[in-house]
């Protein structure tokens, strides 16, 4: 299973587009009122999206063929949501240790879950991996 420069580029591109999509979606849902300006967020959402995209894309390429169900989109969505859920689980742990600093907000969590599903769909459509 090769990760490859092309797949890396696709992952970065999809991640950046997803980051912009997340920024746009939040502008409509208002789950979190932005504290920084547009330009700052444009850059940070692009970088954050790219990092998220590379990680999800890499995991999909490495483990996309291991799931017991068929179809590229379901497999990509499963990996994307699992990674997001793992991060969230870590967030729960942090919240337990430092409740004064870290707390979960339901609207944002639901929005994050939706975004991870969307990212999985993106990758299922556009990234080539073993997911017959």
Partner 1 sequence: MERILEKDQILRALLPAVFVAFMAFSLIVIAYGLDTVAHGVHDTFHDFRHVIGMPCH
Q: Which is nearer to partner 1, 34 or 71 (CB)?
A: 34
Supply the minimum distance, in Å, between the C-beta of residue 69 and partner 1.
23
Distance, CA of 14 to CA of 17 (rounded, Å): 5
Show the tokens assigned to 96: 């337990």
Binding site residues, partner 1, CB under 8 A: 2-4, 8, 19, 22-23, 25-26, 31-32, 34-36, 40-41, 44-45, 47-48, 51-52, 54-55, 58-59, 62, 84, 87-88, 90-92, 94-95, 100-105, 108-113, 115-116
Distance, CA of 93 to CA of 48 (rounded, Å): 22
Q: Which is nearer to partner 1, 14 or 69 (CB)?
A: 14
Supply the minimum distance, in Å, between the C-beta of residue 66 and partner 1.
16
Distance, CA of 131 to CA of 104 (rounded, Å): 34
Task: Report DSSP state, residue 68.
Answer: S
Show the tokens assigned to 102: 């870290």
């Amino acid at each position: 299973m090769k990760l490859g420069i092309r797949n890396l580029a696709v992952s970065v591109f999809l991640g950046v587009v997803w980051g912009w999509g997340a920024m746009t979606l939040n502008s409509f849902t208002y789950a979190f009122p932005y504290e920084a300006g547009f330009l700052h967020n444009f850059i940070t959402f692009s970088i954050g999206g790219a990092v998220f995209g590379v990680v999800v894309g890499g995991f999909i390429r490495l483990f996309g063929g291991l799931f017991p169900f068929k179809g590229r989109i379901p497999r990509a969505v499963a990996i994307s949501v699992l990674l997001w859920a793992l991060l969230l689980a870590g967030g729960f742990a942090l919240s337990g240790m430092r409740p004064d600093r870290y707390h979960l907000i339901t609207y944002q969590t639901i929005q994050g879950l939706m975004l991870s599903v969307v990212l999985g769909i993106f990758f299922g459509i556009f990234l080539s991996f073993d997911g017959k």
